[in-house]
Structure 1
Amino acid sequence: MFKNIQKQLLLKYPLIWNTKFISMLIIGIIYHIIYFILGYFEGTIDFSNKNKYDIEFQSVMFGVLLTIILTILWLVNYFKNNSLKSFYSKSKYALFYEWFQIFIICTFLISFYLPFSFGKQLHQRNYYSYEETQKRCEIISLADIFIDGSFSQTEINSLKSDLIDESNHSKINDTTINNTIDKTEEYVNEIEEQVEQISHYTYKNYIVFNGKKYDEFSLLNRNVFHFTINSYEKDSINKIKVKTWLQNNDKQEIKSLMSAYLRMINEHHLSTNLTLNEWLDITYKSPLFKDFLYITPYKNEYETNRYYNYYNDSRMRQSTEQNERYSKYFVQQNVLKDKYETVSEAYTNPIIKYDEILAYFYGALGFSLLIFSFRVTTGKSWLIAVLTVGIINIILGIFSALGSSSNIYLYLSLFTILVISFYFFLIYNNKRSLDLSRIALNILLWCFPLIIPILYFIVREHYLRYHYYSDEYSQYISPEYRWLENNISEIFLINFILSIVALFFLSRIIRNWKGLAEN
C-alpha cells in the first residue's frame, strides 16, 4: 500500500514525492501529539508537595536529539533526487512551492515545544475554574497578613520630604529641555550627591489608618501576597477590607478567613501545627495589633522559602527583637503560594504566545532557506558561502571595534547585503556565467530577510539618542522610539510576510538563473 501511494505521488505529484512532504507531515503531527501528552503530564501539580513532576528538561533534550535525527534522515532521502541537476522542467513557481513545503516540514520539526507548553498550561488550568482560582488565591493572599507577610513602607519624615520637593522643584526650573541632553552626565552626578545628602533621614515609625495611629510593625501595616490572577487594585481593596475588620474589632470575619485557609491546608494535606483558636490567640492582639507572634511559613528550616526576597525594605528594617518574635507554630504557606501561583499564572499567561510563534516561524524560515539554497546551488558553493559569511563578519567586527559609532556594524552589514544582491542581479541581467553567482545567491537567500530588521535597529538606535532625564524619577522618551519599542512584534511580522512575498518572485528568478551557462 505504501509503495502504491509513493508511486501515485511520483506520477501525479512529483514535487510532493520528492520533498517527502506527506510522510514528514504525518511524522510532524504525531511528533506534536506526543509532546502535547508529555506537556500535559508535566503540568501535573502536586499540592501536597510530596512528589516531583519535572520532565521538561529531559523532554526538551530528547526533542532536540529527535529533531536532529529526523532532519538527517529526511535530508538524505530528499537530496537523493534533484530535478534541477537533471534539468527537469519546472513550472514558474515550482521552486517557491518546493521551498514552502520545506518550510512547513522545518516548522513541525523545530516547534515541538509549542504543544508541550500548551499541554502543560491546559492541565494546570483544569484544576480549578477561573473564578474558583481567584477565590482561593484571595484567601491565601489575605491569610498571609496573619502568617509572615511583608510590611509596607511608611512615609518619609516631613523634613526629608520637604528637602526632596524643594530640590526637585529647583532642578526642574533650572534645567530646560534644550540643554538637558548635553548635561545628562552632570545632572546625574548632582542627583547622586543630592540622594547621598538626604539618605540619613528616617522614615516614620507609625502609619495612620482612618485617623488612628498604629505602629509600623502592626498587623495593619502588613501587605497581602500578590497573585497574578488578582489585580493590584483588588489587592489594595482587600488589604483595606482586612484593616477595617481589625480596626472595627470584627473578630468573626478574621476567624472565617482563617477557617477557610486551614480548610485549604487540610484539603491539600500540607503540614501545620496551628489550630484555629491558637492562630487567633497569637495574632489577634486588639486594639493595637502590635504584640503578635510571627508564624513560620514553612515546615522546617531546610525548606526553601522562595518568597523571602519579596520582603521589602521595611521588613528588613526590623530590630533584632522583631526578628525573634517567631512562634513555635508553622504552616506550609510557601508551598501553598507556590502551587496556586502556578495555577494563577496558567490563567494569566496567554495560551497563544504570538511572539513565541513568530520566533519559531523565523527559525523555520532560516532553516528552510539554508536547505533551499543548498538545493538550488551546489554543496561546494554552499560551503564557500558559509566561509565567506564568517570572514565578512570578522572583518565587519574589526571595523566596528575601530569605529566610533555603535551602529557601524549594522551599516556595514546592510551595505554588504546590498552589494552582494546587486552583484547577483548584475550577473543575472547580463547573462554572465552561472558559476560566478552561486556564492552570491547563497548569501542573498540567507540575508535578504535581515534587511528590514537591520533598518529597524538603525532607526531605533538613532532615536535612542533623544533620551534624557527630566527629573530624578522620570525620563523623556521620543515618541518615535516609543512607537518602535511598542510595535517590534508587528514590524517583524510584516518583515516575515514581505520575506515570503519576495521569495515568491525570487524563486522565479532562480528558475531562470539556472538556465545560464556554467562558464
Structure 2
Amino acid sequence: MKAFIYKTNQYLLERFPTLWNTRLVWMLLIAFVLHLIFFVFGFFTLTNPELLHEYSVKDIYFQNGTVFLNSIISILLLVLWLIYMFKNNAFKNYYPTTTSKLFGQFLCYLIIIFSCSAFFLSYNYGLKLYIATEYPDAQTNKNIEVTNDVAMFLTHDISDYTIDKRRYPKPFYTLYCEQYRTWKEDSLPKLEFLDQRYKFYTLKTKTLPKSERHREQDSSYLGFVFIKVTDSLRIYYYKDTIVDPSPFAKSAVPSLYNASFTFFKSRHDKLDDDRGNYEYNQYSYLNVDYSYNSYRPDFTLRHQLRSERNNALLDRNDTSEIKGLLENFITLSNRYKIEHNLTSEQWFNLIYQPDDFKVKHFIRPEPKDDYDYFDIENSELTAIEKFQYERLTDFYFNKDELQNVFYNIEDIKASSPLFDSIHFFMWFSFVISCIIFMFRVTGLKALLFSIITVGILTLFISLLTALIFYLIQGRNDEIGIYLILYFTLILGTIILAIPTLLIKKIKKLVVAICVNISIIGFPLYLFLIIGIITMHQNDICHADPNFYSRNYECHTLMDLFGVYWSYILFIIGILFLFFYSKVIKNWKSLPEG
C-alpha cells in the first residue's frame, strides 16, 4: 500500500504538480468513502415507521445529531488536509508559478472543501432511496385513497358532522349555511340542534377588478361571506335570500352524511379545487342579532366531490364493503405503527347506524388518561360540546400520526437535497477556499490585517449609519439608506482599484489587504450594485401614477433572475479570481517595503 501511494504521488508530482500539492486525488478518495458511509447511514435511518410520526422528518439530519457528526468529521478531515498541504507553498518558497496554476489551486481547494463538507447530500439521498423503495407511489396513493374514504368514520370532532358542513346533493353545494347560537328567537326558517341554529341562504355576487382593490374598503363591499380571486377579478359573495331547508334536510342531527372533509391531500392529486383562491370573512357586518358566526373555508369543489363520494358509500349501505374498508385501513395503520386500539368489528358497531347514519359515538385522538376526570355539569362547554363529551368512547386513533406519515413520505420523495442546500454549500466552500487561498498567497500577517481591516470598516459604517439616521430622525429614511449604500459602494470601488491602478504607489502590505478583501468580497460588491439598482427601480415604479393599475407589480433587476442570482454571482466570483490571478502575481513580484 505504501509503495502504491508513493508511486502515485511521484506520478502526480512529475505530471500534475498542482494536484500533488493540493492532495486533491487522496482527499476525493477519502471523501467518496465517507459519502458512501453517510449514504448507507441515511438509507437505514427510517427503517422504524414510528419515526415518520413526527412532523417534517425530512430534517432528521439536524434532529438526530448527524449534523454534529458531519461537522466533526469535516473539521478533522480539513485540518489534516491543511497540515499536509501547507508543507509546500510555491509562493513562500519562490517556486515558479503561472496564472493558470494559481487559479487551479483555488479550484482544487473549492472541490475539496465541497466534497469534504457536503455529507448532508449523501445522507438525504439515502433517505430518499429508502422511502422510494419501501413506500412506492402506487401503494402510498392507494393507502391515501383508502384513508380518505374511511376518514369520515374517525369521529373525532362533532363540528365535522354538523349540517352546515354538508356539500351534497344539490342544493347543499349552492347554498351558504350560517351556523350560530342565539337566545333571541325569530320566525325565519331554519334547522336546530341543541343550542345551534342553521340558516340557509342563496348567494349573490359583486365583482371588483384587481386594479381597483383599494375600493374594497368602501361600505358597499363590506359584509361578504367569502371572496374568490381570479387573474383579473375579485368576486365578492354575499348572503341573499333565506331558504327553507325542510324540503331537502330532515334534521340538523350530526350525521356521517354531512362529512365533506378530506383527510389528506396528496401531492399527486390533480384536482384543481381553487382553495388557495378563496378568502373568507370570519365576521359578518350585516347581522348583529347572534353571538357566533362560523368560519367556513369549505366552499371548494373538493368538499363537494368528497361529500358526494361519502354519500354514495353510505347510500349503498353495504356492510361488507364498509367492513372491508375498515379492515384495510387498520391493516395500513398497523404497518405504519399508528397508535390506536380499534378493531374492525368494534369500529363497525360504533359507526353503523342505518337510521341516516347519525353520529352517536366519538373516538378519542389519543388514549384515555386514567386520571381523566372532567366535571361536565359545572363546565362552560356549549350544549353541542357536552353532546360530544357524553358520547366519547374509550377507543382512540391518533390521526395526526397518520397525516404526518403521509406528509413525510411525499415530502421526502419530493425533496431535492442538492437544490435545497446547494447555495449554502457552494458559498461555504467558496468563502473557506478564498481564506485558504489568501493565506497561501499573501501569508498569515496580511490575512490577519485583512480581517482586522474588515472589522474596523464594518464598525465605521455601522457608526456612520447610526449618525445619519440620528440626524435625519425619521424624516426621510430612504435618503439615509442611499447614503450608506453609495458610501459602501465607493469604499468597495477604492479597495478594488488599489491593487490594479495603484499597486506600485502604495505599501505592499496595504495592497495585500486590498487584494484579500477583493478576493472574497467581489461577489458582495456586485450584489450591492444589483441592490442599489433594484431600489431605484422600486422607487420609480411606486412613483408612477399608474402603479395600482399594474396590480402592485414592479419588475426589478433583482426579480429578473430571483434566486438564480446566487449561481450567477458564484460563477462571476470564480471567473473574477481567474482574471485576478494576474494581479496577485504582480503583487507578489513587488519588492518588500
- Which interval holds the TM-score relative to the shorter structure? 0.7 to 0.9
Per the alignment, in what secondary structure is the counterpart of residue 363 of structure 2?
A: strand
Q: Is the 8 A contact 1:228 1:345 kept in 2?
A: no
Q: Is the 8 A contact 2:200 2:242 kept in 1?
A: no
Distance 1:173 1:376, change over 3 A: closer
Letter of the structure 1 residue corresponding to residue 19 of structure 2: I
How far is the alpha carbon of 1:420 from its aligned partner? 0.7
Letter of the structure 1 residue corresponding to residue 488 of structure 2: S
Per the alignment, in what secondary structure is the counterpart of residue 86 of structure 1?
A: coil
How do residues 216-235 of structure 1 correspond to structure 2 at under 5 angstroms? 217-219=254-256, 220-231=258-269, 233=271
Distance 1:162 1:463, change over 3 A: farther
How far is the alpha carbon of 1:113 from its aligned partner? 0.8
Q: Is the aligned partner of 1:427 residue 2:502?
A: yes
What is the rounded CA distance, in whole Å, between the counterparts of 1:487 and 1:321 in structure 2?
Answer: 57
What is the rounded CA distance, in whole Å, between the counterparts of 2:364 and 2:389 in structure 1?
Answer: 11
Per the alignment, in what secondary structure is the counterpart of residue 126 of structure 1?
A: helix
What is the rounded CA distance, in whole Å, between the counterparts of 2:429 and 2:393 in structure 1?
Answer: 58
| Deviates most, 247-256 or 118-127 | 247-256
For residue 258 of structure 1, the aligned residue among 306, 326, 335 is 326
Q: Percent identity?
A: 23
String of CA shifts for 1:350-391, please: whole Å, max 9, x gaps.
335424223211111111111111111121111111011112
Q: Is the aligned partner of 1:140 residue 2:147?
A: yes
How far is the alpha carbon of 1:111 from its aligned partner? 0.9
For residue 130 of structure 1, the aligned residue among 137, 140, 158 is 137
Q: Is the 8 A contact 1:215 1:290 kept in 2?
A: no
Q: Is the 8 A contact 1:19 1:102 kept in 2?
A: yes
How far is the alpha carbon of 1:214 from its aligned partner? 7.1
String of CA shifts for 1:62-112, please: whole Å, max 9, x gaps.
211121122222112222221112221113311000100000011012211
Q: Is the aligned partner of 1:504 residue 2:511?
A: no
What is the rounded CA distance, in whole Å, between the counterparts of 1:73 and 1:7 in structure 2?
Answer: 21
How far is the alpha carbon of 1:136 from its aligned partner? 0.8
What is the rounded CA distance, in whole Å, between the counterparts of 2:13 and 2:210 in structure 1?
Answer: 78
How do residues 272-291 of structure 1 correspond to structure 2 at under 5 angstroms? 272-286=340-354, 288-291=356-359
Show the counterpart of 1:366: 431
Which structure shows the bigger proportion of residues in strand conformation?
A: 2
Q: Is the aligned partner of 1:12 residue 2:15?
A: yes
String of CA shifts for 1:291-313, please: whole Å, max 9, x gaps.
332212334559xxxxxxxxxxx
Q: Is the 8 A contact 2:43 2:123 kept in 1?
A: yes
Distance 1:446 1:246, change over 3 A: same
Higher relative contact order (CA 8 A, sep 6+): 1
What is the rounded CA distance, in whole Å, between the counterparts of 1:286 and 1:484 in structure 2?
Answer: 62
Distance 1:84 1:170, change over 3 A: closer
How far is the alpha carbon of 1:421 from its aligned partner? 0.4
What is the rounded CA distance, in whole Å, between the counterparts of 2:244 and 2:330 in structure 1?
Answer: 30
Show the counterpart of 1:88: 95
Show the counterpart of 1:44: 47
CA RMSD in angstroms, aligned pairs only: 4.3
Letter of the structure 2 residue corresponding to residue 480 of structure 1: H
Show the counterpart of 2:127: 120
What is the rounded CA distance, in whole Å, between the counterparts of 2:443 and 2:243 in structure 1?
Answer: 78
String of CA shifts for 1:431-468, please: whole Å, max 9, x gaps.
75533300001111110011333334444555666689
How do residues 250-399 of structure 1 correspond to structure 2 at under 5 angstroms? 250-252=317-319, 253-267=321-335, 272-286=340-354, 288-301=356-369, 319-347=385-413, 349-399=414-464
What is the rounded CA distance, in whole Å, between the counterparts of 1:410 and 1:271 in structure 2?
Answer: 57
Per the alignment, in what secondary structure is the counterpart of residue 295 of structure 1?
A: strand
Per the alignment, in what secondary structure is the counterpart of residue 497 of structure 1?
A: helix
Q: Is the aligned partner of 1:62 residue 2:69?
A: yes
Show the counterpart of 2:488: 413
How far is the alpha carbon of 1:335 from its aligned partner? 3.2
How far is the alpha carbon of 1:212 from its aligned partner? 5.0
Per the alignment, in what secondary structure is the counterpart of residue 65 of structure 2?
A: helix
What is the rounded CA distance, in whole Å, between the counterparts of 2:131 and 2:75 in structure 1?
Answer: 30
For residue 244 of structure 1, the aligned residue among 311, 324, 336 is 311
Q: Is the 8 A contact 2:496 2:518 kept in 1?
A: yes
Q: Is the aligned partner of 1:32 residue 2:35?
A: yes
What is the rounded CA distance, in whole Å, between the counterparts of 1:323 and 1:244 in structure 2?
Answer: 26
Q: Is the 8 A contact 1:111 1:360 kept in 2?
A: yes
What is the rounded CA distance, in whole Å, between the counterparts of 2:115 and 2:244 in structure 1?
Answer: 59
Letter of the structure 1 residue corresponding to residue 109 of structure 2: I
Distance 1:368 1:266, change over 3 A: closer
Show the counterpart of 2:196: none
Q: Is the 8 A contact 1:373 1:442 kept in 2?
A: yes
| Deviates most, 137-146 or 287-296 | 287-296
Q: Is the 8 A contact 1:67 1:110 kept in 2?
A: yes
Structure with larger Rg: 2
What is the rounded CA distance, in whole Å, between the counterparts of 2:427 and 2:223 in structure 1?
Answer: 46
For residue 518 of structure 2, the aligned residue among 432, 444, 450 is 444
- Give the number of aligned pairs: 479
Per the alignment, in what secondary structure is the counterpart of residue 395 of structure 2?
A: strand
Which structure shows the bigger proportion of residues in helix conformation?
A: 1
How far is the alpha carbon of 1:424 from its aligned partner? 2.1
What is the rounded CA distance, in whole Å, between the counterparts of 2:203 and 2:326 in structure 1?
Answer: 44
Show the counterpart of 1:518: 592
Letter of the structure 2 residue corresponding to residue 46 of structure 1: P
Show the counterpart of 1:311: none
Show the counterpart of 1:110: 117
| Deviates most, 383-392 or 94-103 | 383-392
Distance 1:138 1:175, change over 3 A: closer
Distance 1:119 1:393, change over 3 A: same
How far is the alpha carbon of 1:161 from its aligned partner? 9.9
How far is the alpha carbon of 1:25 from its aligned partner? 1.3
What is the rounded CA distance, in whole Å, between the counterparts of 1:162 and 1:463 in structure 2?
Answer: 47
String of CA shifts for 1:241-274, please: whole Å, max 9, x gaps.
4333256344455443223212223445655443
Q: Is the 8 A contact 1:44 1:124 kept in 2?
A: no
String of CA shifts for 1:458-499, please: whole Å, max 9, x gaps.
44555666689xxxxxx9431415x84584222221221222
Letter of the structure 2 residue corresponding to residue 356 of structure 1: S
